[in-house]
């Protein structure tokens, strides 16, 4: 598995798109910090960008890589290599190279502008962890979609739809549900509904940093417990990890059975 | 004749010393010996006394902060005379009661008093004024140990008292830091009211008062102004009032007030306004609040000008569709318009009420969707063509740069 991981990783690192991705983050980081030297404000702006962009990039790269390397995968399958290690290796190769672009691309400007001397280091770490987990989760979901769809176009559209659903449509349905069932107690429901969408989970992590004053305005005891203490932070991070583990496990399960 | 009387009085005025080894060992004895105009000097030490009645115009001064211990038995000082000065004492252990309002110092029908440099600890009520006018309460340090609202008292309590000055006090951990009921023409300045259970400063049925340069931090709500007229609120700081019913400033049934140059920072709600008319809000800073201004029903003809709204989760929240309030020339950090003619005012009006804040008013749980892309999209579409929010609620000339005094 390690060999395949290494191969995919270096294959991607040599590719142009990784550099474009890295450059994009470098530019974003530097421009933001140039315009506004306040590190913690920049972290908050970045969080807003990251929860939309990272899933999109993760999804597209995941699907693209799977279909592009399909012939090579079939070649590998003819060798005495375990199936799971081929797919998991490829998955890790893609996602880790994306995570690396993210960490280096954002890390460099921030270190340059004195991250280690500032109090924003905790927020920044949280930002990188959230970004990394989102990349891992969405690349895994993209691999799943690709595994289930032989047709490239179909797979691609499903992947993009999935992203659109998670990023926009889900919240719309969620809000509609809240409006319709207005008369019922909804705080438990809304927390659970948030847990079911990794983008919402990451958004909650931002809210906990940024809008805590507004969040405490709501009178529900459950919200108060969730937002007022560290419970919110840890359960959101925990749920995000589950969002990584489950799709990866499904890659493992599906790849064992799939016909080629 | 009166000048002569005054002269003989001050000529005859003498100092009475109270200490553990003096002739007079208790403050009550000293007061009963004293003649009007006398000065009683209390030396360092602990005096276990309560219900000390001051019924003549005297001056009571403590040296090196002597301690008067009420042993939880009730009022420590009761003042029934005019022109009384109490200065430099430490009063402890007032003792609480569910039937009477025990206070460290109670002034009843007294005029021209001066209460200053006191330290109050373990109190129920701190300084309690009933029908006492024209006095000053200055530079006192009041620290309570309030846990529940129903069995705790207020730091400084005014009832039917007019023309009182309250200055430079530090009040912590009581129920209401300063409480005014039927107290008109009072001036409250340079106080710090911190960590109080209910309100930092509380007005009920009090008119024509001024409060300025005060700091209100981490109270249940910073200041509550209720059922009062013509209150001036100038250069105060309202900070860190966090919680479900926590406000920087709570206005209820207030008319013709002025709110100027105050700072509202990191409150769950900066100002909560209910049934208040003809109030002018000028030059205030609203920074990092959950909701900067929350307007509930029946608020008419209020004017908001030259305020800075900086990075609040919601700038203005409004629950009705009728609006006669006017926003004019404020700075909004979320304003995205432009200023082509460079006159310092944006060319596109700013709509401070977001659709989402309207939704959150209806369905509080929806707050969890804040900053979602979907919410940004519906906010944007509402901004373009308002349906749910009052369409005349807008700032026609938003400032391009932050307003500085």
Q: Would the CB atoms of B244 and A219 count as touching at under 8 Å?
A: yes
Q: Give the CATH number for residue B271.
A: 2.160.20.10
| Selection from A135, A134, A133, A112 nearest residue A42 by Cα | A112
Identify the residue whose tokens are 């797919």: A87
Confidence at B99, pLDDT banded by 50, 70, 90: confident
Helix, strand, coil share of chain B (percent; to 5)? 10, 40, 50
- Please list every residue in chain B whose beta carbon sits closer than 8 Å to the beta carbon of residue A191: 368
* Predicted local distance difference test score (pLDDT) of residue A230: 80
Residue B108 domain flag: yes
- Taking CA atoms, what residue in A is nearest to B361? A218
pLDDT above 80 (res B126) = yes
Residue B72 domain flag: yes
Confidence at A45, pLDDT banded by 50, 70, 90: confident
Q: What is the mean pLDDT of residues B245-265?
A: 92
Mutation test of the interface with chain A: which of B368, B371, B374, choosing the one with the most A Cβ atoms within 10 A?
B368
Residue B12 domain flag: no
Which residues lie across from B251 on neighbouring strands?
B225, B273
Q: Is B359 on the interface with A (CB under 8 A)?
A: yes
> What is the least distance, in Å, from the CA of B371 to any CA of chain A?
7
C-alpha to C-alpha distance for B194 and B126, rounded to whole angstroms: 15
pLDDT tens figures, B21-80:
888 888 999 999 999 999 999 999 999 999 999 999 999 999 999 999 999 988 999 999
Residue B5 domain flag: no
Identify the residue whose tokens are 């707050």: B367
CB B225 within 8 A of CB B231: yes
- Whether the CA torsion A246, A247, A250, A251 is positive or negative: it is negative
Determine whether A247 is exposed, middle or buried from the number of CB atoms within 10 Å of its CB (0-12, 13-18, 19+). Answer: buried
pLDDT tens figures, A170-222:
999 999 999 999 888 888 888 889 889 999 988 888 777 776 766 766 666 77
pLDDT above 50 (res B1) = no
- Please list every residue in chain A whose beta carbon sits closer than 8 Å to the beta carbon of residue B362: 179, 182
- Residue B69 is inside which H or E element, if any? strand B67-69
**pTM of the full predicted structure?**
0.84
Residue B6 domain flag: no
Identify the residue whose tokens are 């005349």: B392
Distances (CA, A) of B340 to B345, B346, B348, B400: 9, 8, 10, 11
- Please list every residue in chain A whose beta carbon sits closer than 8 Å to the beta carbon of residue B359: 175, 179
Instruction: Go through chain A and tell me how many residues it has.
Output: 260
Number of A–B residue contacts, CB under 8 Å:
97
Q: Is A103 on the interface with B (CB under 8 A)?
A: no
What are the backbone dihedrals phi and psi of residue A103, each rounded to the nearest 5 degrees, phi first?
-65, -45
Percentage above 90 pLDDT, chain A:
36
Count the domains in chain A: 1
Q: Is A167 on the interface with B (CB under 8 A)?
A: yes
Q: State the residue range of the domain holding A75.
A: 2-257
Count the domains in chain B: 1
Q: What is the mean pLDDT of residues B370-383?
A: 87
pLDDT above 50 (res B352) = yes
Which residues lie across from B314 on neighbouring strands?
B291
| Selection from B93, B178, B169 nearest residue B137 by Cα | B169
- Please list every residue in chain B whose beta carbon sits closer than 8 Å to the beta carbon of residue A48: 371
- Residue A24 is inside which H or E element, if any? helix A16-35
Q: State the residue range of the domain holding B335.
A: 51-384
């Amino acid at each position: 598995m390690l060999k395949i991981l290494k191969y995919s990783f270096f294959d991607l690192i040599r590719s142009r798109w990784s550099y474009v991705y890295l450059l994009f983050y470098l530019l974003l980081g530097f421009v933001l910090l140039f315009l506004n030297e306040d590190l913690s404000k920049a972290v908050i702006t970045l969080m807003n960008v990251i929860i939309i962009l990272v899933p999109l990039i993760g999804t597209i790269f995941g699907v693209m890589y799977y279909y592009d390397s399909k012939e090579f995968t079939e070649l590998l399958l003819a060798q005495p290599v375990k199936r799971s290690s081929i797919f998991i290796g490829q998955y890790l190769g893609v996602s880790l190279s994306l995570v690396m672009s993210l960490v280096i691309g954002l890390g460099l400007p921030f270190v340059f502008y004195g991250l280690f001397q500032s109090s924003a280091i905790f927020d920044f770490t949280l930002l990188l962890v959230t970004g990394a987990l989102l990349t891992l989760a969405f690349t895994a979901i993209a691999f799943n979609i690709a595994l289930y769809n032989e047709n490239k176009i179909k797979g691609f559209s499903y992947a993009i739809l999935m992203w659109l659903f998670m990023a926009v449509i889900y919240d719309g349905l969620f809000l509609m549900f809240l409006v319709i069932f207005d008369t019922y107690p909804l705080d438990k429901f809304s927390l659970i509904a948030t847990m079911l969408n990794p983008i919402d989970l990451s958004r909650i992590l931002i809210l906990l940093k940024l809008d805590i004053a507004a969040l405490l305005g709501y009178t529900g005891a459950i919200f108060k417990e969730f937002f007022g203490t560290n419970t919110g932070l840890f359960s959101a991070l925990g749920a995000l990890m589950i969002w990584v583990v489950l799709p990866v496990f499904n890659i493992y399960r599906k790849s064992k059975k799939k016909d080629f | 004749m009166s000048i002569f009387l005054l002269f003989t009085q001050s000529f005859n005025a003498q100092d009475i010393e109270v200490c553990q080894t003096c002739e007079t060992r208790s403050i009550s004895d000293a007061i009963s010996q004293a003649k009007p105009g006398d000065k009683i000097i209390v030396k360092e030490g602990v005096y276990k006394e309560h219900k000390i009645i001051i019924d003549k115009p005297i001056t009571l001064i403590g040296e090196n902060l002597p301690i008067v211990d009420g042993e939880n038995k009730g009022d420590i000082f009761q003042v029934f005379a005019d022109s009384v000065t109490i200065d430099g004492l430490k009063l402890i252990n007032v003792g609480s009661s569910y039937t009477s309002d025990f206070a460290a110092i109670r002034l009843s029908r007294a005029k021209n008093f001066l209460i200053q440099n006191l330290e109050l600890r373990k109190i129920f009520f701190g300084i309690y004024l009933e029908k006492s006018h024209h006095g000053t309460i200055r530079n006192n340090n009041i620290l309570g140990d309030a846990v529940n609202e129903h069995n705790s008292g207020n730091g400084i309590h005014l009832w039917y008292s007019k023309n009182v000055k309250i200055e430079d006090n530090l009040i912590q951990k009581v129920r209401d830091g300063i409480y005014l009921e039927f107290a008109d023409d009072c001036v409250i300045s340079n106080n710090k009211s911190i960590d109080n259970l209910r309100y930092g400063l509380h007005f009920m049925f009090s008119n024509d008062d001024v409060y300025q340069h005060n700091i209100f931090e981490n109270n249940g709500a910073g200041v509550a102004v209720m059922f009062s007229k013509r209150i001036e609120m100038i250069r105060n700081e309202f900070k860190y009032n966090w919680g479900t019913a926590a406000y920087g400033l709570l206005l209820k049934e207030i008319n013709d007030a002025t709110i100027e140059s105050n700072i509202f920072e990191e409150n769950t709600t900066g100002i909560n306004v209910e049934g208040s008319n003809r109030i002018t809000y000028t030059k205030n800073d609203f920074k990092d609040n959950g909701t900067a201004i929350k307007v509930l029903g029946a608020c008419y003809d209020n004017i908001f000008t030259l305020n800075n709204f900086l990075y609040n989760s919601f700038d203005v929240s409004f629950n009705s569709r009728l609006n006669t309030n006017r926003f004019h020339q404020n700075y909004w950090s979320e304003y995205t318009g432009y200023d082509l003619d460079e006159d310092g005012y944006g060319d596109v009006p700013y709509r401070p009420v977001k659709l989402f804040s309207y939704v959150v008013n209806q369905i509080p749980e929806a707050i969890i969707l804040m900053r979602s892309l979907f919410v940004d999209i519906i906010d944007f579409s509402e901004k373009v063509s308002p349906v749910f929010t009052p369409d005349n609620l807008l700032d026609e000339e938003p400032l391009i740069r932050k307003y500085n005094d």
